Amino acid sequence: MNHTLPKNRSLFDRAIVGPALKAAVLKFDPRLQVRNPVMFVVFVGAIFTTGLWLHALIAGGETSPNFSLAIAGWLWLTLLFANFAEAMAEGRGKAQADTLRQSRRDVQAVKLSSAQRTSKQTTVAASALRKGDYILVSAGETIAGDGDVIEGVAAVDESAITGESAPVIRESGGDRSAVTGGTRVLSDWLVVQISANPGETFLDRMIAMVEGAKRQKTPNEIALNILLTALTIIFLMATATLLPFSIYSVSAVKALDPSSQALPITVTALVALLVCLIPTTIGGLLSAIGIAGMDRMIQANVIAMSGRAVEAAGDVDVLLLDKTGTITLGNRQATNFLPAAGVDIRELADAAQLASLADETPEGRSIVLLANEHYQIGERQAAGLDAEFVAFTAQTRMSGINIGGRQIRKGAVDAIERYLREQQSVLPSDVRANVETIARAGGTPLVVADGKRALGVIQLKDIVKGGMKERFGELRRMGIKTVMITGDNPLTAAAIAAEAGVDDFLAEATPEAKLSLIREYQAGGRLVAMTGDGTNDAPALAQADVAMAMNTGTNAAKEAGNMVDLDSNPTKLIEVVEIGKQLLMTRGALTTFSIANDIAKYFAIIPAAFASTYPVLNKLNIMGLASPESAIISAVIFNALIIVFLIPLALRGVRYRAVAAAQALRSNLLIYGLGGLIVPFIGIKLIDLLLVGLGLV
Amino acid sequence: MISNIIIQIGSFLLVLLACVIPLGRYMAKVYGETPPMQRVFGPIERLIYRLLGIDAKTEMNWKHYAVALLGFNGLGLLLLYGLQRIQAWLPLNPQQLPAISADSAFNTAASFVSNTNWQGYAGETTMSYLTQMLGLTVQNFVSAATGMAVLIGLIRGITRRSSSTIGNFWVDLTRSTLYILLPLALVLSLVLVSQGVVQSFNPSQTVELLQPIVNADGQTISQQTIALGPAASQIAIKQLGTNGGGFFNVNSAHPLENPTPLSNLFELLSIVVIPAALCYTFGIMVGDKRQGWAILATMTIILLGFTALAVGAEQAGNPLYQKLGVDDQASTLQAGGNMEGKETRFGIVNSALWATVTTAASNGSVNSMHDSYTPLGGLAPMVLMQLGEVIFGGVGSGLYGMLIFAIITVFVAGLMVGRTPEYLGKKIEAFEMKMAALIILIPCVTTLLITAIAVSSDAGKATVFNSGAHGFSEVLYAATSAANNNGSAFAGLGANTPFYNTWLGIAMLVSRFWLIIPTLAIAGGLANKKLIPQSAGTLPTHTPLFVGLLIGVVLIVGALTFIPALALGPIVEHLLMSL
Domain that holds residue A408: 328-463
Residues 208-237 of A with CB under 8 A from B: 219-220, 222-224, 226-227, 229-230, 233-235, 237
- Cα A432 versus chain centre, distance: 48
Do A21 and A59 have their domain in common? yes
Q: Using the 3D structure, point to which of B276, B307, B325 is the last residue of a domain.
A: B276
Alpha-carbon distance of B153 to A643, in angstroms, equals 43
pLDDT at A215: 65
User: What is the tally of structural domains in chain B?
Assistant: 2
Same-domain pairing of A355 and A407: yes
pLDDT mean over A327-339: 83
Residues B266 and B298 in one domain: no
Q: Which of B418, B429, B452 sits opposite A314 (nearest CB)?
A: B418
Same domain flag for A369 and A454:
yes
Q: Does A409 lie in the same domain as A352?
A: yes
Q: Could you count the other beta carbons within 10 Å of the beta carbon of residue B244?
A: 31
**In this complex, do B415 and A480 lie within 8 Å of one another by their Cβ atoms?**
no
Which of B8-20 are b and which e, b meaning 16 or more Cβ less than 10 Å from the residue's Cβ? bbeebbeebeebb
| Distance in Å, alpha carbon of A88 to nearest chain B alpha carbon | 23
Sheet holding A528-532, edge to edge: A302-304, A563-565, A546-550, A528-532, A318-322, A481-485, A504-506
Give yes or no for residue A597 having a pLDDT over 80: yes
- Do B489 and B471 sit in the same domain of this protein? yes
DSSP-derived letter for residue B87 is G
Q: Which residues pair with A564 in a beta bridge?
A: A303, A549
Question: Is residue A635 within 8 Å of A604, Cβ to Cβ?
Answer: yes
- Domain membership of residue B3 (yes or no) is no
Query: How far are the Cα atoms of B246, B332, B489 from residue B118, in angstroms, in the given order?
Result: 9, 39, 7
Q: Please write the tens of the pLDDT for every residue from B202-220.
A: 888 899 988 888 888 888 8
Same domain, B305 and B254: no
Question: Do B255 and B369 belong together in one domain?
Answer: no
Q: Is residue B5 part of a domain?
A: no
| C-alpha to C-alpha distance for B131 and B104, rounded to whole angstroms | 14
Mean pLDDT for the stretch of residues B89-101 = 87
Give yes or no for A481 touching B (CB within 8 A): yes
- Same domain? B185 vs B333: no
Instruction: List the CATH number of the domain containing A478.
Output: 3.40.50.1000
CB B571 within 8 A of CB A619: no
Question: Cα(B533)–Cα(B48) distance, rounded to whole angstroms?
Answer: 40
CA distances from A48 to A51, A72, A158, A244, A409 (A): 5, 8, 54, 19, 90
- For an interface test with B, which of A218, A224, A226 has the most B Cβ atoms less than 10 Å from its Cβ? A226
pLDDT digits (tens, 9 = 90+) for A253-285: 888 888 888 889 999 999 999 999 999 999 999
Average pLDDT over residues B365-385: 94
Do A73 and A114 belong to one domain? no
* Domain boundary, last residue among B276, B300, B331: B276
Radius of gyration of chain A (CA): 34
Q: Is residue A35 part of a domain?
A: yes
Residue B218 and residue B292 share a domain: no
A488-501 residue pLDDT tens: 778 888 888 888 89
Residue B408 sits at the chain A interface (C-beta within 8 Å) = yes
B296 and B266 belong to one structural domain: no
Q: How far is B552 from chain A (nearest CA, A)?
A: 10
Q: Are residues A310 and A291 in the same domain?
A: no
Task: Note whether A661 contacts B417, CB cutoff 8 Å.
Answer: yes
Q: Is B223 exposed, middle or buried (0-12, 13-18, 19+ CB in 10 A)?
A: exposed
Give the integer Cα–Cα distance in Å for B447 and B478: 9
Q: Give A300's Cβ-side CA count (13 Å radius).
A: 27
Helix (H) or strand (E) holding B313: helix B289-316
Same domain, B270 and B341: no
Check CB contact of B331 with chain A, cutoff 8 Å: no
Cβ of residue A12 closer than 8 Å to a chain B Cβ: no
**Do A664 and B414 make contact, defined as CB atoms within 8 angstroms?**
no
Give the per-residue pLDDT at A104. Answer: 64
Chain A residues 405-464 within an 8 A CB cutoff of chain B:
none
Q: How confident is the model at residue A106 (pLDDT cuts 50, 70, 90)?
A: low
User: What was the pLDDT predicted at B92?
Assistant: 85
Determine if residue A363 is labeled as part of a ligand binding site.
yes
Do the beta carbons of residue B383 and residue B376 sit within 8 Å? no
In order, the DSSP letters of A463-503 are EEPTTHHHHHHHHHHTT-EEEEE-SS-HHHHHHHHHHHT-S
**Which chain A residues are Cβ-neighbours of B564 within 8 angstroms?**
238-239, 242, 245, 273, 602, 606, 609
B12 part of a folded domain = no
Is A474 assigned a ligand-binding role in the annotation? no
Report yes or no on A203 lying in a domain.
no
A321 and A174 housed in the same domain: no
pLDDT digits (tens, 9 = 90+) for B7-64: 999 999 999 999 999 999 999 999 998 899 899 999 999 999 999 999 999 999 999 9
Residue where one domain finishes, among candidates B231, B253, B276: B276
Q: Do B312 and B417 fall into the same domain?
A: yes
Mean pLDDT of the residues in chain A = 86
Residues A375, A490, single domain; the answer is no
Q: Is residue B483 part of a domain?
A: yes
Q: Is A605 within a domain?
A: yes
- Report whether A281 contacts A264 (CB < 8 A): no
Mean pLDDT of B251-261: 92
Residue-wise pLDDT for B417-456, tens only, equals 888 899 999 999 999 999 999 999 999 999 999 999 999 9
Q: Tell me what percent of the residues of chain B surpass a pLDDT of 70.
A: 100
Q: Which residue of A has its CA nearest to B530?
A: A525
CB B561 within 8 A of CB B386: yes
In a domain, residue B8? The reply is no
State whether A454 and A347 are in the same domain.
Answer: yes
The last residue of a domain, from among A463, A479, A512: A463
Q: Are A354 and A449 in contact (CB under 8 A)?
A: no
**A103 part of a folded domain:** no
- The answer as to whether B470 is a domain residue is yes
Whether residue A77 is found in the same domain as residue A217 = yes
Query: Identity (one letter) of the amino acid at B282?
Result: F
A638 domain-assigned: yes
Could you tell me which residue, A10 or A35, shows the higher pLDDT? Answer: A35
- The residue from A534, A566, A598 where one domain ends is A566
Within a 10 A sphere around the Cβ of A422, how many other Cβ atoms? 9
| Domains in chain A, number | 4
Rounded Cα distance between A611 and A607, Å, is: 6
Residues A550 and A622 grouped into a single domain: no
What pLDDT does A1 receive? 34
pLDDT in tens, A633-681: 999 999 999 999 999 999 989 988 888 888 889 999 999 999 999 999 9
Of the listed ranges A32-46, A213-227, A384-398, B442-456, the least confidently predicted one is A384-398
Q: Quick check: is A100 in a domain?
A: no
Residues B269 and B328 in one domain: no
Active site residues of A: 322
pLDDT at position A670 is 93
A49 domain-assigned? yes
Cα distance from B555 to chain A (closest Cα, Å)?
A: 11
Last residue of a domain, one of A463, A486, A509: A463
Q: What is the pLDDT of residue B250?
A: 86
- A397 Cβ under 8 Å from any chain B Cβ: no
Contact A341, A438 (CB under 8 A): no
Comparing CA positions, the residue from A212, A203, A217 lying closest to residue A37 is A217
Tell me: do B266 and B297 sit in the same domain. no
**Contact criterion met (CB < 8 Å) for A237 and B445:** yes
Q: Is B4 contained in some domain?
A: no
Best CA proximity match to B230, nearest among B367, B111, B138: B138
Residue B15 placed within a domain? no
- The pairing of strands A504-506 and A481-485 is parallel
Go through chain A and tell me how many residues it has: 697
Residues B383 and B240 in one domain: no
Residue span of the structural domain in which B408 resides: 286-578
Q: Is the domain of A530 the same as that of A636?
A: no
Domain membership flag for residue A392: yes
Nearest to B444 among A227, A234, A585 (CB): A234
A563 marked as binding residue: no
List the single residue in A with minimal CA-CA distance to B409: A592
